[in-house]
Structure 1
Amino acid sequence: MKEAKMDVSAYLKRIGYTGLLDGSAIALAKIQECHLHSVPYENFDILNRIPLSLEVPDLYDKIIIRRRGGYCFELNAIFSWLLKELGYKVTSLFARFWRDEPNAPPKRRHHVLKVEAEGKFFLCDVGVGGIVPRQPIEMAEGLVHEQGDEFYKLEVDPYFGWMLMEKKHGDWRQIYSFTEEPQLPKDFIMASFWCENSPDSIFIENAMVAIRTDEGRNSVDGKEFRIFKNDSVQTFIPATEKEYKEALKTYFGIVLDN
């Protein structure tokens, strides 16, 4: 476990947040959006067979000090720490990821957060590589949230609990579901170990990298970089390993350890 001093101000500087810290829902939304624009989703440690630690001091060292990213079990764990330090009441929950699931129902392998602000509860999540809400979603059934050109809402399934939905081409589609049973940090260890080591895990196959930008988002699928700006997309494959690492630094701020 790392012994680095964990400093809230350094975390806020890492994500570029300079607003009020008043425990409000507005501040919560801005903090989450800053996080998604600053800390990339990425699975390079898994690909490089570096065992992950979900201990908060280790995550702080990786994500805040070394300015790396991570995946849901890492990103939402460290984000939970930040929100608690800022005075929010946070509960960790387990989710089933339905989007692009070939063998439904999916297993529980996604960490999400239930956060209380101003007497209301919100779904917060900074740990998805695909397109998901950039701001918290109030936990009220059927309430539609418009975020730019994206639309989201929560429905309730009698078996799977809350279901986060997205509107695509006029239709509402499932993203992930979760129940409200509180989870301890150790409850995510087995699921994360499966994601790191199972031959059936998507995380061991190819590089998966993503980050929000002011113009859209940047992503990597294997070797291919995709730079989305407004309604256009630029794709390219770096010719060499050096160029690949330079592109990671340019578009995601990631510097891989040698």
Structure 2
Amino acid sequence: MDTIAYLKRFNAYPVEECYLQDLARLQSLHMQNVPFENLDVIREVPIYLNLENIYEKIVNQKRGGYCYEINGLFHWLLRELGFDAKMISATVQKPDGTWSKADTHAAILVNLDVPYLVDAGFGDSTVSPIPLGGERHTDHSGTYSINQVDDEFYDLVRENSGQERTLYRFSLEEKQLADFHEGCVFNQVSKDSPFTHDDLVTKATPEGRVTLSDHQLTRTQNGKKERTDLSPEEKKKVLEQEFGIAL
């Protein structure tokens, strides 16, 4: 696998030092150019936790993926670039306050002066590393912080319009990509998976986010949302023009 080709895939270049600003730039560019998408899941194309397969899909085919694919490959890249990075698992909290299947989300922890949560594969979320020290970070999608729950667990929290919501809970235990096999299968086949119902493709933009959900395109810019219903032909064009995906 070619790190330079991967960096070019999301308009980035090699870092000379492993500083926070370099990590933040890589994450932001990655999220603006490699979409979170479940198109293979909906079309019943099997997804395997194999880095070579994921590299072929994301870099050579210019596709996106879901958390195991995006964060699995991004973790490999960060390690190749010299960052002290490890994969971790998380349990997603649903909007109604209940919890999804435990440990089925894959994220990354990067140790700099303090540990930072890095997640390029959670869809509509922060585009920047979030420190575990409790400091708050604000971008177009909200204000984020990490709260320590107990000696083992931490919560990623987003505040938007004065309302706080836990996005997911994670521990610092290191995971390997193969550890997510059960979660990867669950999220491809279970009716309880959020990814087995409708097409979902989303990526960050400099001013917000653009999201395709089934046949509706939502463009968020500086907090304002604009929704457009699409015909099948229009949807095909949006996939190609907005996300660079030609199925």
The bucket for the TM-score relative to the shorter chain is over 0.9
The DSSP-based 3-state class of the residue aligned with 2:104 is: strand
Structure 1 residue 21 displacement after superposition: 3.0
Q: 2:56 is matched with which residue?
A: 61
Range that drifts further, 26-35 or 211-220: 211-220
Counting only pairs closer than 5 Å after superposition, residues 111-150 of structure 1 correspond to structure 2 as 111-117=106-112, 119-130=113-124, 132-140=125-133, 142-148=134-140, 150=142
| 1:185-209 residue CA offsets vs partner (Å, 9 max, x unmatched) | 2110111101101122121100111
Gaps of 5+ in 2: none
Structure 1 residue 178 displacement after superposition: 0.2
Letter in 2 for 1:124: V
Q: 1:249 is matched with which residue?
A: 240
Q: TM-score by structure 2 length?
A: 0.94
Letter in 2 for 1:195: N
The DSSP-based 3-state class of the residue aligned with 1:108 is: coil
Gaps of 5+ in 1: 1-5
Q: TM-score by structure 1 length?
A: 0.90
* Aligned-residue CA RMSD (Å): 1.8
Distance 1:160 1:106 in 2: 18
Question: 2:14 touches 2:81 (CA, 8 Å); kept in 1?
Answer: no
Q: 1:83 to 1:129 in 2, by over 3 A?
A: same
Question: 1:129 touches 1:208 (CA, 8 Å); kept in 2?
Answer: no
Q: 1:205 to 1:102 in 2, by over 3 A?
A: farther
Match of 2:200 among 199, 208, 218: 208
Structure 1 residue 93 displacement after superposition: 0.7
Counting only pairs closer than 5 Å after superposition, residues 1-258 of structure 1 correspond to structure 2 as 6-18=1-13, 20-101=15-96, 103-104=98-99, 107-117=102-112, 119-130=113-124, 132-140=125-133, 142-148=134-140, 150-158=142-150, 161-240=153-232, 242-256=233-247
Distance 1:42 1:166 in 2: 22
Structure 1 residue 17 displacement after superposition: 1.3
Distance 1:200 1:110 in 2: 14
The DSSP-based 3-state class of the residue aligned with 1:204 is: coil
The number of residues matched between the two structures is: 247
Letter in 1 for 2:242: Y
Structure 1 residue 19 displacement after superposition: 6.6
Question: 2:218 touches 2:227 (CA, 8 Å); kept in 1?
Answer: yes
The DSSP-based 3-state class of the residue aligned with 2:195 is: helix
Structure 1 residue 38 displacement after superposition: 0.4
Question: 2:152 touches 2:171 (CA, 8 Å); kept in 1?
Answer: yes
Q: 1:231 to 1:156 in 2, by over 3 A?
A: closer
Distance 2:105 2:97 in 1: 16
| 1:107-142 residue CA offsets vs partner (Å, 9 max, x unmatched) | 22100111122x321100001122x111101121x2
Distance 1:110 1:80 in 2: 14
Range that drifts further, 16-25 or 206-215: 16-25
Q: 1:153 to 1:210 in 2, by over 3 A?
A: same
Range that drifts further, 187-196 or 247-256: 247-256
Distance 1:54 1:180 in 2: 21
Distance 2:94 2:85 in 1: 25
Letter in 2 for 1:126: A
Question: 1:42 touches 1:70 (CA, 8 Å); kept in 2?
Answer: yes
Question: 2:199 touches 2:214 (CA, 8 Å); kept in 1?
Answer: yes
Q: 1:116 to 1:198 in 2, by over 3 A?
A: same
